[in-house]
Amino acid sequence: MTLANGRHYLAIPGPSVMPDAVLQAMHRPAPNIYAGELVDLTHSLMPDLRRVARTEGNVAIYIGNGHAAWEAALANVVAPGETVLVPATGRFGIGWGEMAADLGAEVQLIDHGKRSPMDMARIEEALRADKAHKIKAVLAVHVDTATSVRNDIVALRRVMDQAGHPALLMADCIASLACDRFEMDAWGADVTVTGCQKGLMVPPGLGFVFFNEKAARVRQAMPRVSRYWDWAPRANPQVYYQHFCGTAPTHHLYGLRVALDMLMDEGMEAVWARHEKLAGAIWEACDAWSKGGPLELNIADRANRSRAVTALRLGEDRATRLRDWTDSQAGVTLGIGLGMAEPDDPAWHGFFRLGHMGHVSAGMVMGMLGAIEAGLTACDIAHGPGALEAAARALV
Contact residues for ligand PLP, defined by CB under 6 A: 14, 65-67, 92, 141, 143-145, 172, 174-175, 195, 204
Q: How far is the CB of 191 from ligand PLP (least distance, A)?
A: 14
Q: Which is nearer to ligand PLP, 175 or 369 (CB)?
A: 175
CA distance 194 to 172: 6
CA distance 109 to 94: 8
Q: How far is the CB of 112 from ligand PLP (least distance, A)?
A: 15
Q: How far is the CB of 173 from ligand PLP (least distance, A)?
A: 8
Q: Which is nearer to ligand PLP, 143 or 215 (CB)?
A: 143
Q: Residue 91 in 3-state DSSP?
A: helix
Q: How far is the CB of 70 from ligand PLP (least distance, A)?
A: 7
Q: Which is nearer to ligand PLP, 198 or 318 (CB)?
A: 198
Q: Which residues of 278-386 form beta strands (DSSP E)?
A: 296-297, 309-313, 332-336, 351-355
Q: How far is the CB of 113 from ligand PLP (least distance, A)?
A: 17
Distance from chain centroid for Cα 53: 13
Q: How far is the CB of 92 from ligand PLP (least distance, A)?
A: 4
Contact 18, 31 (CB under 8 A): no
**Planar angle of CA 253, 258, 264, nearest 5 degrees:** 120
Q: Which is nearer to ligand PLP, 65 or 320 (CB)?
A: 65
Query: Residue 319: which of 296, 300, 299, 301 has the closest Cα?
Result: 296
Distances (CA, A) of 89 to 71, 96, 114, 274: 19, 11, 6, 25
CA distance 349 to 315: 7
Q: Which is nearer to ligand PLP, 195 or 339 (CB)?
A: 195
Q: Which is nearer to ligand PLP, 51 or 67 (CB)?
A: 67
Distances (CA, A) of 348 to 88, 206, 337, 339: 20, 30, 7, 9
Question: Burial, 168: exposed, middle or buried (Cβ in 10 Å; 0-12, 13-18, 19+)?
Answer: buried
Using CB positions, name the residue nearest to ligand PLP: 66
Q: Which is nearer to ligand PLP, 50 or 67 (CB)?
A: 67
Q: How far is the CB of 285 from ligand PLP (least distance, A)?
A: 23
Q: Which is nearer to ligand PLP, 159 or 308 (CB)?
A: 308
Q: How far is the CB of 101 from ligand PLP (least distance, A)?
A: 16
Whether omega for the bond prior to residue 29 falls within 30 degrees of 0, making it cis, is no
CA distance 263 to 261: 5
331: left (phi over 0), alpha (psi -120 to 50) or beta: left
Q: Which is nearer to ligand PLP, 38 or 139 (CB)?
A: 139
- In sequence order, the β-bridge partners of residue 140 are 171
Q: How far is the CB of 273 from ligand PLP (least distance, A)?
A: 21
Q: Which is nearer to ligand PLP, 334 or 376 (CB)?
A: 334
> What H or E segment, with its residue span, contains residue 295?
none
Question: Burial, 213: exposed, middle or buried (Cβ in 10 Å; 0-12, 13-18, 19+)?
Answer: exposed
Q: How far is the CB of 213 from ligand PLP (least distance, A)?
A: 25
